[in-house]
Amino acid sequence: MTDTDRQFTYKVVIVGDAQVGKTSLILKYTKGTFNKEYIMTLGAQLSKFEDIVEGNAIKLVFWDIAGQTNFSQLRQSFYKGSSAAIIVFSHEENELGDRSFQNIPKWLDNIVEYCGEIPVVLFGNKIDLIDVNELILNKEHPKSDQNILKLMKELKILGYLKTSALTGEGVTFAFKTLTNHVFQIKEKDQGS
């Protein structure tokens, strides 16, 4: 690093219903691995990752927050000090996928209540389990790109990215996009 480079640390909370793949996404991005066995997150799990944005060292601290309702009382303390948030839902064509999509506003309400107005992006995970063309072409599909973009606009969510923790598709791009968004917003805030 040169003398002109700066170092930033951002806390990023990752929320969403249980079993949507939050932990798997973090593992795929930070370690390049995928665990096929489901391991429930208890409370919150922390992971660190370092990146470079525009010559600046960025340290990301991911707070993977349990999606089970029995951990809801603990969440408030886990959200504090967050610079950004990721809401993860599953594209699975089943009850889990549908419920996780319907609960996006609930997760956003939690973020706003405990963090205020921070950058929020939406990750649509498990795209390896669906026909992605269906999301692009079928406007009637509840989780179509068109419906998700409409939801994003209504909820003022910064971005939507499709991911697969299993195959790795879109994972690096999604996390790097989030990191760039946060850096740009924080830089703008510091400059004003």
Sign for the CA dihedral angle at 153, 154, 157, 163 comes to negative
CA neighbor of 121 nearest in space, from 34, 23, 29, 14: 14
Query: pLDDT tens-digit profile of 81-130?
Result: 999 999 999 999 999 999 999 999 999 999 999 999 999 999 999 999 99
Question: Which bin fits 19, alpha (ψ -120 to 50), beta or left (φ > 0)?
Answer: left
Query: pLDDT tens-digit profile of 9-52?
Result: 999 999 999 899 999 999 999 999 887 765 656 556 778 999 99
Q: Which of 10-14, 73-77, 185-189 has the lowest mean pLDDT?
A: 73-77
Residue 4 one-letter amino acid: T
- Per-residue model confidence (pLDDT) at position 138: 84
- Residue 150 tokens read as 């409409």
Query: How confident is the prediction for the chain on average, in pLDDT?
Result: 87
SS3 (DSSP) at 2: coil
What residue ranges define each of the domains in the chain, with the CATH number in brackets?
Answer: 7-191 (3.40.50.300)
- Per-residue model confidence (pLDDT) at position 177: 93
Detail the DSSP E strand segments found in 41-80: 44-53, 56-65
Give Cα separations from 49 to 29, 67, 156 (angstroms).
9, 22, 27
SS3 (DSSP) at 35: coil
- Residue 140 tokens read as 């009637």
Q: What is the pTM of this model?
A: 0.88
